[in-house]
Structures are given as structure tokens and as C-alpha cells.
Structure 1
Amino acid sequence: MGGKKGRRRTATSAALVGAAALVLAAPPSVDAEPRTGTAPVFATVAARQDAPVTPPPPRLPRDFRGKGKWIVRDLDITVPFTWEGKDGDSQMTAGGPQYPIWFTNLIYRDTLYTLTYKWPGLNEHPCSRIPGFNLEALNQGFEGARFVGPETLRRTPQRHVNHWRVGAVFPKLPPGKYPRLPLALGDIYVDEHDRGTFWQVLQFGVQNLYDPELDEWLVMDTFEHRPGTVTLPQRCEPPR
């Protein structure tokens, strides 16, 4: 959901949306202030040997709500994060007024919105709009994800997940010796028993252009399949 920054932040990188992933031993608690002096600790990911037949790819549900953390490791910043969906719309929110990072990404009525209120070194705060993007488009993008394998996130509690990778490469050319530029990459970790439960997402690429190392993590502590709250910021509303 997932958010992205300006026109460059996407939900897949989520979410993507969509955010989105948009994805670690014991990161700071959700209510903790951003840490300084040491990089956030990421959960160890252990590959499992009991590889099953390729499962169905990730699919973001229409209704959900979850809380966790947004982690920008090279900036040594960790902030609270929420991700919610209602009737097919969805919203990511990282940080808040008291944190060094604060942004929201939305898929709302067939439009992808990104509004970055605070980011180190950022002085412009427009609400960007990309029309023609919705939950169906996001999940269609997930259909092309590559299955990496079953893994275990060594957190408390441990979570057994399926690891997927999505990406965008330009230009689209056949196999062979051609110049190619990777534009965006997402590593998505969904529950092994429910492809609609997202536990962790790594986003890397041009959608993370505000970050010097081009990568950001979201890690969920909770993820429930019940309707959340999606609110379009007033700054993103079309003029009347």
C-alpha cells in the first residue's frame, strides 16, 4: 500500500500498494521512539527444506487491518505503521507528526494517492495522484510474482511464511544479451496458510527515491481480516 513517495512511491512496494510490500529479531516496539546510533535489527529469515508445490501468489484482501513498523535501515529510523483496507480501498500510514518520517499511501476509488508529510531533507509536500489503479490491478501484478520458497521469520512469535518476489525491469526484451535496468523490486512474505495475510515486505527501487539506499521495510505485528478505516486526506481531495 502500498506507501510510496511523491509519484515515485507505490503501493506494492505495500502494499505496492499500495503501497504496496510494502517486508525482521526484535525491532523496536510500535510505541517506541525512532532509535538512533544503531541500525534497526531485522528478523532472521530461515529457509525451510520442506519446499511444497508452488502455492498461489499473494493476494491483498478487500477488508483487513494491521499494525507494525516502517523501517528505513540506512537512516536508522523506525516508526509505527498501520495498513488497513475497507471495501477494496486501502491505506498505509507510517510515522506521525512527532516522528522524522510521516507519510500515507492510499488506493482510493480507483486512484493511487501518495502524501509525504515529513521526510529528512524533503521540503515539498504535494499529494500525488495516479488514476486507474485499484485493488484488482494490484493483485493482478502479484499474479506475476516468483515463488522464492517457504521460510520462517524468527520473531516472537515465529511465523511460517511463503516468500515471493515481484519486480519491474525496463525495457521488456526477450532472453539474451540486452541492456536491462531494474526499476523496482519487492520481497513479500505472506502466511503459509493464507496468501492474504501479509507479514513483511521489502521495497527496493525508484519508488524509494527519497531513501539514499533505495530500500525500505514494513513488518507487521498484527494482521486481521476485518474492515479497517480508510480516510482520504483533505489535501488529496479534488478541488470543488
Structure 2
Amino acid sequence: MEDQTPEGPGGPHLKRVMLKISGEALMGDQGYGLNPPTVERIAREVQSVHQMGVEICMVIGGGNIFRGLQGSAQGVERTTADYMGMLATVMNALAMQGALESLGIHTRVISAIPMDQVCEPYIRRRAVRHLEKKRVVIFAAGTGNPYFTTDTAAALRANEMACEAILMGKNGVDGVYDKDPARHSDAVRYDKISYDDVLSKHLKVMDASAIALARENSLPIIVFPLDAPGGFKSILAGQGTYTRVGD
């Protein structure tokens, strides 16, 4: 049977991708927590790409529940705050798993912090096998270490899983700009930008560790609007508006 996987911005015939979204993306119009209709909408975006035959891993932040750095600023010891943030990502991952499985998509949550009653521990070969069986794999609890963000976890797992691109789903923005488009009407969007320029210009794409890890492994990062209906699928089909970070 002929390969029907479409040509996307990260290269021809993308077969395995990492989708990174923030915890705030799950809040909807709320100021905190999970908004079930929003979680369902994102799950349907993932479903549309899954039906194309693309293997999907996900990393979801925890900022809608608890953000370690902010918790540290409020008096919680930094390491403890970061572990609390990791647990928040597990809650988000379980919510997304529930939404995906309600759509008939087999999903596995894999945590960097062992909690066997809730989800699987991280074992690379097992995670790869899940992807080969066309299951969506959601990596939770970051890297399992404090002082590392979920951005870095996404770059790390994407490399370990041999993903062909990281897709950064953003709310309210359709790519990478030279300055905040919400504050500056003359902000200019990049169609393509190098890793080094992202770092030197201090652009808020991913944190510096994640960008450096992607650069070292020539892993492209595609920044696209997650809140645009059909946005995830259109990017994989080489359509829509996005910024490609890479050399």
C-alpha cells in the first residue's frame, strides 16, 4: 500500500512527531485548572492527525495547576516546587488520555516519576513499541528532575523517540515574532529562523536548554497556532501559518 503520510513543514512524509503544549492551553477561558470542552477540542485535533497515520507523542505542561518557578517565588523550596509542578503534568496527561480514549484512540501515559497504580514508568523501548503500535504516548512528570522544564522534557523525549519534529502548539499566536505581537502592532513574524537566532534574540519559543538540545540533534521545531480549528492537521499537511526553527 502506498504511503499516504503527507508532506509537512519539518520535512517530507513526517511519520513521528512530538506535540508540546502548555498546561495553560487546557484552561480555556478559565483562569485555572482544566476546561473539559477545551481538552476535548485538543483531543480531536490529535485524533485528526492520528487518523492520517502519524505516530504522536505529547508533552503537556502543568502551569494551569502549579508552576514550580512561581511556587518557588512564593516561598516553596525550589526542588519541592518543581516536583509539585511535575505532578501537575501527570494530572493533565491523565485528563488528555481520558479525552483521547473516549474518541477510541489507545493512549499511554508514561511518567518519569514511577507511580505504577496511575501510569507506566518511563522505559524507552516500551515507549517506542507503543508508538509502533499506533498508540498516542503522553510523557508526564517532565524529565523527573527539578530545574528542568517541560520544554526540555519535550526535546529530550523527542530525540529519544526519534521524532522528526517538535510541534509547539501556541494559543493566540501563529508563529515566532521578533517581539510580542499582543503589545506591538509592528511585530514581524518569522517564516523560518535558526536556533542560534532564537537564542541570541531571546525569543520565547522554548527554554534555552531545549533549543540547544534540538540544535545539537538537528531536530526542527514548528511553532503553530493550537487554537486554530484544524491547525495541527493542516501543519502536518504543509498548510497553515507557522514558523520553522532550525538550520
TM-score, length-scaled by structure 1: 0.28
Give the strand-richer structure, 1 or 2.
1
Greater RCO, CA 8 A, separation 6+: 1
